[in-house]
Structure 1
Amino acid sequence: MSWNTVELEWDGDVATLTVDRPEAMNALNVETLEVMGEAITEAAAEDARVLVVTGAGDDAFIAGADIAYMQDLDTPEAQEWGELGHDVADALAEFPAPTIAAVNGYAFGGGCEMALACDLRVASESALIGNTEIDLGIIPGWGGTQRLPELVGDETARRMIFLGERLDAQSAAEAGLFGDVVPDDELEATVDELADRLAAKPAVAMRAAKQTLNQRHEGSLTSGLAFEKRTFGSLFGTADQREGMAAFLEDREPEFE
């Protein structure tokens, strides 16, 4: 199936969801998030044994969220925006079969958070990843504050979020964000092989394995995500948020108070 900004393609029991906005470096707007949710639901309904998530083109996995859209949101609107992003990230995290993020370029902000929500991450050598929201006057709002420490540890997560650090693929792999880093022209083949191996495993046992792994942080993650959603929305309308996003859109350094 395909939508205007998302494609869902099948190869046997493996479904691949491609965010298809290369002219915007696959940045996520409302329409794209909504149809991503529909595509994930469709893949689950059709009993995909593996779901791969990637971005169209050669430059970006998902470069982030649509900052031009976010710039003038008030707090209630930002809460709704945060809820929408959480819904999609949660759908990936709770997908009944394994999910793989094929990170083929920039994965910043919301793009990083979508990768974090997947079970496994494979990156091309040219990939860059980071929770860069602090320079926009906000915080990660789609799960980053809760999922990133799970992968890289508290110290590294705090440095990445506090400083808005962008890690190259090898540094990210050393930190625990990527399981594999491969040459750019080998990413698709590597992910295909991994997906085929996963799809060949017993589906019922695989579902049970994923549910059990996810259960380990069910209580604290749920409360943490809820707190993140409230805090994310509350930052919209602040002087820092307005200045951070204006500076980004005007291609200049922000001047925070």
Structure 2
Amino acid sequence: MELKQEMARSLLKTSSLCVRTKLLNQVGLSLYNTSHGFHEEEVKKKLEQFPGGSIDLQKKDNGIGILTLNNPSKKNAFSGVMMLQLLEKVIELENWTEGKGVIVRGAKNTFCSGSDLNAVKGLGTSEDGVALCMFMQNTLTRFMRLPLISVALVQGWALGGGAELTTACDFRLMTPESEIRFVHKEMGIIPSWGGTTRLVEIIGSRQALKVLSGALKLDSKKALNIGMVEDVLQSSDETKSLEEAQEWLQQFVQGPPEVIRALKKSVCSGKELYLEEALQDERDLLGKLWGGPINLEAVAKKGKFNK
């Protein structure tokens, strides 16, 4: 009997690992489907009813993308259409093979004030709330798993869903007068786009409780002190701070996109998978690079340097 139970546990673990690895490594797969009670097309139809603003994407020749939340009349709050467009842009970035990094920012010196209240009021039932939660968890998880090194450039306010969006990025930079606030408690809810889970990973459970409860206000200095952000930029000017952010990101994306993307994938595997599967992913990623033209050229150059 004990042997059978051990075999069953092993099978469950293996099956779970296979599913997790498949989700992590295959482009275009959703986190949820109908087996979870998630009907994506129905959610999309509801979100289409709440227009306003846009999500703009600029893909630069140097392999850095600029993803801009553009709804300045509402401090870049997410309308329903913007939520749909964010998923579209994430899919576009998933297929951008020349990409190495992406900066997320808001237009007109404000990051994002959360969800547009028109959409919040229009999706008032518990079922609507859970469906929206699953839609945005799926979108931000796919964003987090992009083979691109991502940076949130926080200018002005990052409130509610905007604060959650910053946690989906690998790094966060703030301008001197900016602020990150998880205001969900004031709205009678909790973060539901994956923000709590990611915040705990970034700053730990004790600090996360302080931030989520509102006991700790994250201005740029406090955010830097607790490790929420990597750096506070010198300028609060929209153009200059974006230039600073691009210069900051450059230190991570120098080199061929194949190598940068493999590094990011390997880090995602190490973070999300069990040890055996993460090690397997490392082997698979290395197998695509070792002995290839980039590797051979680098080895040849090193040989010349050592002479």
TM-score class, shorter-chain normalisation, is 0.7 to 0.9
* Residue 195, structure 1, aligned to residue 249, structure 2: yes
In structure 1, the residue matched to 2:57 is 8
The offset of 1:10, in angstroms, is 2.5
Deviations 1:222-257 (CA, angstroms, capped at 9, x unpaired): xxxxxxxxxxxxxxxxxxxxxxxxxxxxxxxxxxxx
Identity score, percent: 25
The offset of 1:175, in angstroms, is 1.2
Change (3 A) 1:184 1:178: same
Contact 2:253 2:260 in 1 (8 A): no
The offset of 1:214, in angstroms, is 2.4
Amino acid corresponding to residue 226 of structure 2 in structure 1: A
* Separation (CA, whole Å) in 1 of partners of 2:215 and 2:222: 15
* Separation (CA, whole Å) in 1 of partners of 2:214 and 2:55: 32
Q: How many residues align?
A: 217
* Structure whose alpha-carbon radius of gyration is higher: 2
Compute the TM-score of the two structures, normalised by the length of structure 1: 0.78
Contact 1:132 1:164 in 2 (8 A): no
Contact 1:130 1:167 in 2 (8 A): yes
Q: 1:184 aligns with which of 213, 221, 236?
A: 236
* Residue 67, structure 1, aligned to residue 121, structure 2: no
Query: Please, which runs of 5 or more residues in structure 2 have no aligned partner?
Result: 1-51, 275-307
Contact 2:151 2:169 in 1 (8 A): yes
What does residue range 1-257 of structure 1 map to in structure 2 within 5 Å? Answer: 5-12=54-61, 13-47=63-97, 48-58=99-109, 60-71=110-121, 73-163=124-214, 165-182=216-233, 183-185=235-237, 186-218=240-272
SS of equivalent to 2:229: coil
Query: Please, which runs of 5 or more residues in structure 1 have no aligned partner?
Result: 221-257
The CA RMSD measured in Å over matched residues stands at 2.0
Larger RCO (CA under 8 A, 6+ residues apart):
1
Contact 1:133 1:164 in 2 (8 A): no
Contact 1:117 1:147 in 2 (8 A): yes
* Separation (CA, whole Å) in 1 of partners of 2:232 and 2:112: 17
SS of equivalent to 1:70: helix
Contact 1:134 1:164 in 2 (8 A): no
Compute the TM-score of the two structures, normalised by the length of structure 2: 0.66
Amino acid corresponding to residue 227 of structure 2 in structure 1: G
Contact 2:114 2:160 in 1 (8 A): yes
Higher mean alpha-carbon deviation, 65-74 vs 147-156, is at: 65-74
The offset of 1:134, in angstroms, is 0.7
* Separation (CA, whole Å) in 2 of partners of 1:161 and 1:86: 18
The offset of 1:16, in angstroms, is 0.6
Change (3 A) 1:98 1:149: same
Amino acid corresponding to residue 85 of structure 1 in structure 2: M
Deviations 1:155-211 (CA, angstroms, capped at 9, x unpaired): 110111123643111111111111010121342121111233333234333223322
Contact 2:53 2:79 in 1 (8 A): no
* Separation (CA, whole Å) in 1 of partners of 2:215 and 2:181: 7
SS of equivalent to 2:83: helix
* Separation (CA, whole Å) in 2 of partners of 1:100 and 1:210: 13
* Separation (CA, whole Å) in 1 of partners of 2:72 and 2:180: 17
The offset of 1:151, in angstroms, is 1.2
The offset of 1:219, in angstroms, is 6.0
